[in-house]
């Protein structure tokens, strides 16, 4: 695509989808980083995807809300299991979370091995179809995210592990179907990594949001101009934003300390 053909309106729904995902994933990602359970997001995302696959394979033509119910129940079950593992097997938690991811991923492959259009379904769940999201999809995700954000910022979810896992699993369930597993993981971890050294909580959140939004804009534009998969290129623009901003933020911190 050349600049004369570039239509900004093409990326508006996709950008809104990215902003919605970041609204919950930035604070959740910072908590994941703080807890040191980095792979919980990709594991729960894969378990939610397994729920979508199971609903599609066994349920046939299901309504959207029925698929969401399958995915949500799968993610909540996975989150409850990880919470139990955290309490009883803390030393091996990361290894067990990795095992859950592998089991959910291989389970999805087994379920789709003889299913029609399985390749397209797996591709959508991994890489996502963010460029083709509809406003109807955005509305139901917004209807879910608003109460989740109210719960997160009203109650001290960081001190209530089960509440944290509940919010986390429901947010991941929706975002996987909007942007795919890869971009879910990148949206949770990369903005949190870039802002992790900032002490002030509000400043840390603000900077992480700005990094994420900037990366989504760059990714969407690059996808249209160079005809690249949107989810995949946005993962890379998130990394690029972190590589650019992290040294600048560190330098600002050092100069502030000197003053």
What average pLDDT does this structure show over 81-100? 89
pTM across the whole model = 0.87
Domain 3-252: CATH superfamily is ABC transporter involved in vitamin B12 uptake, BtuC (1.10.3470.10)
d(CA 169, CA 76): 6
Contact 145, 173 (CB under 8 A): no
CA 175-168-234 angle, to 5 degrees, is 35
Copy the structure tokens of residue 4: 């004369």
pLDDT, tens digit (0-9, with 9 covering 90-100), for 38-89: 888 889 989 988 888 888 887 766 667 777 788 888 889 998 998 899 889 9
pLDDT, tens digit (0-9, with 9 covering 90-100), for 177-210: 889 899 999 999 999 999 988 888 899 999 999 9
Place of tokens 């003053």: 259
Reference 65, options 132, 136, 15, 124; nearest CA is 136
Contact 244, 191 (CB under 8 A): no
């Amino acid at each position: 695509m050349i600049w004369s053909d570039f239509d900004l309106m093409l990326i508006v729904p996709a950008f809104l989808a990215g902003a919605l995902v970041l609204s919950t994933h930035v604070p959740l990602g910072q908590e994941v980083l703080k807890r040191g359970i980095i792979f919980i997001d990709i594991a729960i995302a894969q378990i939610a995807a397994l729920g979508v696959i199971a609903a599609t394979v066994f349920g046939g033509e299901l309504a959207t809300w029925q698929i969401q119910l399958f995915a949500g129940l799968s993610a909540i079950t996975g989150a409850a299991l990880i919470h139990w593992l955290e309490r009883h097997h803390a030393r091996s938690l990361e290894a067990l979370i990795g095992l859950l991811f592998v089991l959910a991923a291989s389970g999805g492959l087994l379920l789709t091995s003889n299913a029609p259009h399985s390749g397209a379904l797996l591709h959508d769940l991994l890489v996502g179809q963010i460029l083709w999201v509809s406003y109807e999809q955005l509305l139901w995700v917004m209807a879910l995210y608003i109460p989740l954000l109210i719960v997160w910022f009203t109650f001290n979810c960081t001190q209530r592990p089960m509440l944290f896992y509940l919010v986390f699993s429901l947010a991941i369930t929706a975002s996987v179907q909007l942007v795919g597993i890869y971009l879910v993981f990148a949206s949770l971890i990369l903005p949190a990594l870039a802002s992790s050294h900032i002490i002030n909580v509000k400043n840390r959140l603000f900077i992480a949001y700005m990094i994420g939004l900037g990366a989504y804009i760059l990714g969407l534009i690059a996808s249209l101009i160079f005809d690249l998969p949107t989810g995949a290129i946005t993962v890379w623009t998130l990394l690029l934003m972190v590589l650019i901003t992290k040294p600048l933020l560190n330098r600002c911190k050092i100069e502030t300390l000197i003053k």
